[in-house]
A and B are shown apart, each in its own frame.
Chain A
Amino acid sequence: MTSNLYKNQLIELSHNPYHFGKPEKIFSSNEALNPLCGDKITVYQSGDSIQDIDLWFESVSCIICSASASILAQNSEGMDMNDGIEFMKQVETALKDGTLLDHNLPKALNCLGEINNYPSRITCATLPWSTAIELLQ
């Protein structure tokens, strides 16, 4: 069976997600639900401030959402808040309009490049990003 969406990299990421769990010190957190399926994600900003981004997450979610959250946590780490928000908004828009591969974005995101061919799954991929943007704003 072939499925262009379920690439090995995506499955691997979901099995071993980066920064999965609650951080030792929580500065702030934001919880969101996917109304389409009831999946739940909580994104945490670790540490004492929001200036340097250090995101963690917990979720009851599908492979797409877990892998997407893992990519978010890894690729936003260390960004300052304004750059981080801009980066996240760019990724969220690109996931929605199917232009992920057209921008100069981290290569890790390429495994979500097919998401636009699965309209009912786009929210699974964008949920961590929209939740993080809300948290930081």
Chain B
Amino acid sequence: MASFLAIAKIDVMNAKREKEMMKIREEFPILDQKINGEDLVYLDNAASTQKPRTVINAIKNYYENDHSNVHRGVHTLSVRATEAYERARQKVTEFVNSPNKHQIIFTKGTTESINLIASSVTNLIEKNDEILITAMEHHSNIVPWQELCKRTGATLKVIPISEDGDILMDKYREMVTNKTKLVSVVHLSNTLGTINPIEKIINKAKSHSAITVIDGAQAAGHIPIDVQKLDCDFYLFSGHKIYGPTGIGVLYGKEDILNKIDPYQYGGEMILKVTFDETTYNDLPHKFEAGTPNIAGAVGIGASIDFINSLDRDLCHKHEMSLHDYAMDKLERIDGIRIIGRSSNKSAILSFVIDGMHPHDIGTIINQKGIAVRTGHHCTMPLMDFYEIPGTVRASFSIYNTHSEIDKLIDALKLAIKMLKQ
């Protein structure tokens, strides 16, 4: 009786929370549509979140009223565009609690941010130095470091993980030595959902004066970020995973290291003085923003930060985790399903495989029911090798998803399994 009452209480809490969240869902016009004759169930939020009206309108408004090129213009539109662009930088500064606005560099996204660092730190890395990453990294946090190692003669080392999908911290502590020059780790795994203990990772790396890079692509939309508290050298994320537009990303860097490393690209905007004999580079952040930037993208990411700031983030987190736990419970009742990623500290990402069935076939079939999930290796091929699987089905939840959408996912999966087993 007591447990029945407890479950009933949780159901009431979930229902109340979901009612609140439904007001937010109405802000996302794309969700109100049919796919293959069925209501869209969008569970591919780790790949890209959908955009609220405020973000769409901010970009539209910018192009309709304020667009021109930024900086150096004396006319009104250029001043307005510059103000909008720099206002967005200020919003990002506050969003991650950067000590200064000029430590925020706009990039195309997390991938470009990592490439920028891997390219620009070349002068700080020497032969026989070591760069550490984890076994759960996205390709974008593997390949740029492989290339850096090729250029410099440094060695790339991989911190192992457990079967549950947690970094083996004892192994990590053993791996950090005086040879370690850089540690680059994902904050929240896009495949496993694991939230890594980055504070401990950063502290250990700093005890050996290694540069610390945190890939926050998945985390920034779900976890409040305080770069000063983290004390990392770099923190990176993308606009399109935090309800903002594609093609815009952020690189936060510590001032001393940003001043120490080389520019990434060369040309307009990033210079102070150019003669045919020599060039003097501009101050931060312009040193790393060659060419005309993605102004509308910056306006969009600024609007997405305003949107996030308008939310009750604790309520959002509880809602997303309620969806995750509900889906996990239902999935585990289906024969042949194996969950990939069982960390005790995870976010609302659920990866799974089904015995004898290929993720792509499952994804294609449930799309007939309007359900959008991501299938495949999720740009983590070495992680797939670790689990000895070709790929997974990944359902990733956001603030606008509902428990009834999980029910639809489960029903569609059961039908797909029945169909493929025949």
Contacts and interface: CB of A to CB of B under 8 A. Distances in A.
B420 A6 contact: yes
A5 B365 CA distance: 9
A37 B384 contact: no
A60 B364 contact: no
B252 to A, nearest CB: 32
Nearest to A121: B364
Interface in A62-105: 62-64
B360 A37 contact: yes
Contacts, number: 56
B259 interface: no
B364 A5 contact: yes
Interface in A33-66: 36-40, 60-64
Interface stretch (B8-16, B314-322, B373-381): B373-381
A8 interface: yes
Contacts of A37: 359-360, 375-377, 390-391
A1 B416 contact: yes
B74 interface: no
A111 interface: no
A61 B384 CA distance: 14
Contacts of B390: 37-40, 60-61
B204 interface: no
A3 interface: yes
Contacts of A40: 390
Nearest to B356: A15
B412 interface: yes
Contacts of B416: 1
A3 B419 contact: yes
A3 B360 contact: no
B67 interface: no
A1 B360 contact: no
Interface string A105-120: 0000000000000100
Contacts of A3: 364-365, 368, 419
A8 B419 CA distance: 9
A6 B363 CA distance: 12
B392 to A, nearest CB: 11
B369 interface: yes
A2 interface: yes
B358 A63 contact: yes
Nearest to B416: A1
A42 to B, nearest CB: 14
A62 B356 CA distance: 10
Given A37-B375, A38-B377, A1 B361 contact: no
Nearest to B420: A11
A13 interface: no
Interface string A1-38: 11101101001000000000000000000000000111
A32 B305 CA distance: 43
Contacts of B375: 37
Nearest to A39: B390
A1 B381 contact: no
A64 B369 CA distance: 20
B384 A38 contact: yes
Contact of B365 (A6, A36, A60): A6
Contacts of A121: 360, 364
Contacts of B376: 36-38
A78 B391 CA distance: 35
Interface of A: 1-3, 5-6, 8, 11, 36-40, 60-64, 118, 121, 124
13 contacts: A3-B364, A5-B364, A6-B361, A37-B375, A37-B391, A38-B377, A38-B384, A39-B360, A40-B390, A61-B358, A63-B420, A64-B361, A121-B364
Given A3-B364, A38-B381, 7 more contacts: A3-B419, A5-B364, A6-B419, A37-B360, A37-B375, A40-B390, A60-B390
